[in-house]
């Protein structure tokens, strides 16, 4: 039973590690999406400013192209993060199923041991009852 308890602890630690890694990837994805949103806001602000400044409008197209490239790069990183998140989610699911199998097996062993203990106790009580009955029979018949 100690082995099962150890396996349960190890499985729980592995599950916790996967959950931690998932949170790291989710946080990184949120950072990337926030950065993309900030770039979009900056682009809109520049667009508004350039529309009022005709003498610098020729540089806006270069700036917009650069921001667009940055956003495309961020989109690619988000796709990579999504792939990693999916893989870790699968690992979490597998680790959780493994942990549950160990826990169910431990519960079954505990229940089996309890049933065996009760059976031994019943046998012992039956033997005591039989011995008491035989003594009483012996005393009743004067032997």
Q: Write out the residue range of the structural domain in which residue 47 sits.
A: 2-110
- Report pTM: 0.71
pLDDT over threshold 90, residue 96? yes
More confident residue, 132 or 53: 132
pLDDT over threshold 90, residue 142? no
The number of distinct structural domains making up the chain is 1
pLDDT tens sequence across 25-42: 999 999 999 999 999 999
Q: Is residue 136 part of a domain?
A: no
Residue 143 has a pLDDT of 58
Q: How far is 137 from 81, CA to CA, in rounded Å? A: 83
Burial of 13 (0-12, 13-18, 19+ CB in 10 A): exposed
Q: How far is 60 from 51, CA to CA, in rounded Å? A: 10
First to last CA, the chain: 50
* Candidate from 8-12, 15-19, 50-54, 67-71 with smallest mean pLDDT: 50-54
Q: Is residue 134 part of a domain?
A: no
């Amino acid at each position: 039973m100690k082995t099962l308890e150890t396996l349960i602890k190890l499985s729980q630690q592995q599950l916790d590690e996967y959950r931690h890694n998932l949170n790291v990837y989710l946080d990184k994805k949120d950072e990337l999406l926030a950065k993309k949103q900030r770039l979009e806001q900056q682009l809109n602000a520049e667009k508004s400013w350039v529309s009022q400044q005709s003498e610098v409008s020729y540089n806006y197209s270069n700036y917009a192209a650069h921001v667009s490239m940055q956003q495309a790069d961020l989109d690619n990183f988000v796709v990579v993060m999504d792939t990693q998140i999916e893989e870790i989610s699968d690992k979490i699911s597998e680790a959780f199923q493994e942990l549950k199998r160990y826990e169910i097996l431990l519960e079954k062993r505990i229940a089996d041991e309890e049933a065996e203990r009760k059976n031994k106790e019943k046998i012992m009580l039956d033997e005591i009852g039989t011995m008491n009955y035989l003594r009483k029979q012996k005393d009743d018949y004067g032997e």
